[in-house]
Amino acid sequence: MSRVAVVGTGRWGRRLIRVLGDLGVLALVCNRGDVEGQAWVRTAYPGVRVSSAATDALDDPSIDCVVVATPIATHASLALAALAAGKHVFVEKPLAMSSGVAWRIVEAADQADRLLFVGHTFLYDAGFEQLHALLAHDPVLEASFAWMKYGTFDEPLIWNLLPHEVSLAMWLIGQPESIEITEHDAGPTELDRLRLRLGFEDPDQSSLIEIDRTSAGRTKTARIATRSGAVYVWRDGELLVERQGRNDRRLSSAAEEALAREMRAFLASVETGEPARSDGRFGARVVEVVERIGRMLPPIESARI
């Protein structure tokens, strides 16, 4: 069984710590002087070692895997350091903030013969997994992804939230060929509302993405229309099929959280050597698309709501 170290005890880092602790593989948690975070780990997981330096995870020969759950700007450097130390690496999305760096991390993983896994959590949701299987025989015609919430203003929208929607569009349809930004607006930061359309090699296929992190409500939805005329709706962990004139039929609901399924997939890939659906190459291609979208956005005057 793999021994795992987590670097980072922020909001998402604690979720990863909880899942890995429950799976019985958590051996070490590192952060950089977050006393409160260290105290939380010691209370919640008294058998887990706590450190103030990521190098303790890199230098420990008993650690097989390093999970990077730190601010986005630090993902690349920590992933490269962990691969150089011979560790398998799980890095939260995005893999990097430039495609050049992302592909450099992929190359480092290849050279080290280590697994590089990127945390695109929704790819491991049970409903999206079932939807992906259905679409193998009935391709997407039109897809829309919408995420309404309030908060997470501490990091740029295009790197914090957009990779989730881009990764889903890419996994369910393919690599986008064209991008059209149809709406963008400021809120507490320079960009808090974004609407765009992706086009694909097949001109009949398209995907709409809409993100609003200033919304009073909180919901995440996807609506997928296929070539056969079927319409599937994923809403907050539940997959439905629309039936004209009748009630929608539920196909799947979240019996196990996507994050737990994702970490099981990561550990299985480490053990078997089988590639993951969100491996480094997939993560780098997501970065390419997000980077392209970022370059298309004009300067936006900051506003306060």
Q: What Cα–Cα distance (Å) separates residue 165 from each residue in 41, 83, 87, 273?
A: 31, 27, 29, 27
- For residue 24, the tally of other CB atoms under 10 A from its CB is 9
| Per-residue model confidence (pLDDT) at position 1 | 77
User: CA-CA-CA-CA torsion for 61, 62, 64, 68, nearest 10 degrees?
Assistant: -80
pTM for the full predicted model: 0.94
Token pair belonging to 276: 């993951």
| Measured distance CA(256)–CA(24) in Å, rounded | 17
For 155-185, the pLDDT digits (tens) are 999 999 999 999 999 999 999 999 999 999 9
Tens digit of each residue's pLDDT (9 = 90 or more) over 77-116: 999 999 999 999 999 999 999 999 999 999 999 999 999 9
Residue 201 CB: number of other CB atoms within 10 A?
11
* Residue indicated by tokens 């306060």: 304
Tens of pLDDT along the chain (305 residues) come to: 799 999 999 999 999 999 999 999 999 999 987 889 999 999 999 999 999 999 999 999 999 999 999 999 999 999 999 999 999 999 999 999 999 999 999 999 999 999 999 999 999 999 999 999 999 999 999 999 999 999 999 999 999 999 999 999 999 999 999 999 999 999 999 999 999 999 999 999 999 999 999 999 999 999 999 999 999 999 998 999 987 766 678 777 777 899 999 999 999 999 999 999 999 999 999 999 999 999 999 765 444 43
Sole residue written with tokens 């001109």: 203
- What's the CA gap between 23 and 114, in Å, rounded? 22
Write out the two tokens for 102: 């992302």
